[in-house]
Structures are given as C-alpha cells and as structure tokens.
Amino acid sequence: MVAVTESAPIATAARTRKPGSPLAGLSAYLQALPLFLVLGVFLLLPLILIAIVSFWDYDFAAMYPDFVTFNYTETLGSWVTWKTYLNTLKFAAIVWVITLFVGFWVAYFLAFHVRTASMQTVLFLICTVPFLTSNIIRMISWIPVLGRNGLVNSALVEAGLVSAPVEWLLYSDFAVVLAMVHLYTLFMVTPIFNTLMRIDRALVEAARDAGASSWQVLTNVILPLAKPGMAIGTIFVVTLVMADFSTVQVMSGGQSASVALMMKNQMSLLQYPAAAANAMVLLVLVLIMVAGILRIVDIRKEL
C-alpha cells in the first residue's frame, strides 16, 4: 500500500514479488491490520479480560483483583452447575437432531426438486423472511399461539379433542425446543443447501446408471457429499443453543435453566468473577465440541 503511492504500479508489482523485500512484508501486514484490530479489540481483548476477571475475588459490592481459583472450584464443584450443563447439552442435542433432519430435507427439496434457479432464489428468500424481525419478537409471537388460551389450545378445546387446555405447550421444555428449532433451522438449511448445490448432477445419474434406487442414491452419494454442509450447520446450531439464554428464559417461563441463563443470573447478583469463570468453562466446552465436529468431518472442501 505504501509502495503504491511511492512508485509506478509495475515497479511495485515487481517489488512485492521479491520475498525478502521489507516493504512487501509491511504491505501484507497493513492489509491484515483492519481485521486484526476488529478481532483484537472486540473479541480477543474481551476474552482476555473475562479470563482475568475469572480469577478475581468478589463480595456483594465489589470485585478485588487477585488470583484465586475458587470461582472455578465452586462452579465445577456445584451439583447445580452440572445439572444446568446437562440440561443445556440436552437442548443442544434435541435441537440439533431436529434442525439437522428438517434442514436437510428443506435444503434437499430446494436443491434437487425445485427446477429453476429463479424459483430456488425466491423460495430461499422466503426462508429468510422471518429474519427481518428480531429473535425476541419471533419468540414472543409463539406465546399467543401456545398459551393456555392460545390458538392451539382453543382450537383443541373447541374441537372437543381435549377437555381442558394442554398445559405443556407453553412454559415447558417443549416450548423451548420448538422456539429454538424455529430460530435456528435456517442456519442448518443454508450450509447444507450450499453443499448440495455443488454436487455434480452427473454423479446422481452415474449412480442411477449403476442401478441405485432413489434411497440408495441418497444414502450412498448425496448424504456423504452433504457432510461438510451438515458439519458447518451443526457448528452454527450447537454454538447458538449452548450460548442461548433468552429463548430458555422466555419459553420455559423460568422453569428450565441453561448455562448462559445461569451466567445472566450470576451477573444480576453482581457475581461477575463467578460468571466469568462459568463463561470460560462454557467456552472450553464449546471449543471441544467444535473440534470434535471438525475431526469427524473435513469441512475444508467447503471453504
């Protein structure tokens, strides 16, 4: 960048190609600088701060710079923490299975059954329409549908299918999972759709030529080749569910817990170091999960 202003473009090109040139090295660093600053200031620095704070001491009124480990020992030693983590993992697993199933079939339909590219675009845009409103609004709009006197319950009672309103529709694990599936399925559809679109249609024909039935084409050709997209979608969904607190709070009506919700509660009690320790544990757990996914599926083909 600096070199460009100093000399003719051709000379610059010749100079940047020389590996030993100090200017060439500098311009590469300059080009990487903006992203480095953004990630450094808004990701790395906060993480370091949280890591530091997680070793601080605190009482009801203030935090004291220190190096203590009881934030971690208390967090990991508490039965409540383990139960909350298990509950969050349960949500992650259920939501993952459902979004993977639904997401795959939506993507499959879009990629293989919708003939024209323009129709594919239109249908895909329709999938993204809900994203024009905020997460919270989309979540809250379930309440009049699922509530005690909501749409579903009144319809069921009116139709005489049940005598009293169904209680577990809202403020339950069911409601949490439903809202999460609603919120996160598109994160599964998009990467899977992307991989499916890249599958050479001649492969499907070659499989048919070899006598494969539709089911065999799916299990032997399409599913294996869709794995990278599934892995990327899985990373999206799992990390989103693991970090979710608003959906769990709103849809369970406070009856269910998640790790992020636990952190939020700790923060509202001004127990920042405890929340920070919790955050570090969650971060490590999620990173391990992502590493596990990347180990199973090679997603580099997608990038």
Partner 1 sequence: MTKAAEIDIASVSKIYGQSTAVHAISLKIPAGTYCCLLGPSGCGKTSTLRMIAGHESISSGDIRLGNTVVTDLPPARRGTAMMFQSYALFPHLDLVDNVAFSLKMKGVDKDERRQKAMDMLRLMQLEAYATRRPAQLSGGQQQRVALARALITDPEALLLDEPLSALDPFLKIRMRAELKRLQTSLGITFVHVTHSQEEAMALADLIVVMNDGRIEQAAAPRVVFERPATAFVARFMGDHNVISGRAASSTNGAVTLDVVNGGQFTAQGAPIEAGQPVDIAVRTDRVRIAPTGVPGLGFTGIVSNIEYRGSTVKLSIDGAGIEDFTAILDDAAFFEQTIKVGDAVPLSWGEADAIVLGRIPI
Positions in the binding site for partner 1 (CB under 8 A):
200, 202-203, 205-213, 216, 220-221, 224-225
Among 226, 164, 174, smallest CA distance to 196 is for 226
Closest CB to partner 1 among 157 and 225? Answer: 225
- Residue 188 CB, nearest distance to partner 1 (Å)? 21
Count other Cβ atoms within 10 Å, centred on residue 294. 14
CB-based contact 285:81 (threshold 8 Å):
no
Q: Kindly tell me which of 8 and 202 has the beta carbon lying closer to partner 1.
A: 202
Asked if 150 and 67 count as a contact pair (C-beta separation under 8 A), the reply is: no
Kindly state the smallest distance separating residue 210's Cβ from partner 1, in Å.
3
Shortest CB 100 distance to partner 1, Å: 19
DSSP string, 53-105: HTT-EE-SS-EE-----HHHHHHHH-HHHHHHHHHHHHHHHHHHHHHHHHHHH
Cα 107 to Cα 251: distance, rounded to the nearest angstrom = 27
Closest distance between partner 1 and the C-beta of residue 280, in Å?
A: 38
Q: Which is nearer to partner 1, 17 or 201 (CB)?
A: 201
- Residue closer to partner 1, measured from CB, 231 or 280: 231
Closest approach, Cβ 121 to partner 1, in A, equals 21
Which residue number, 17 or 300, has a Cβ lying nearer to partner 1?
300
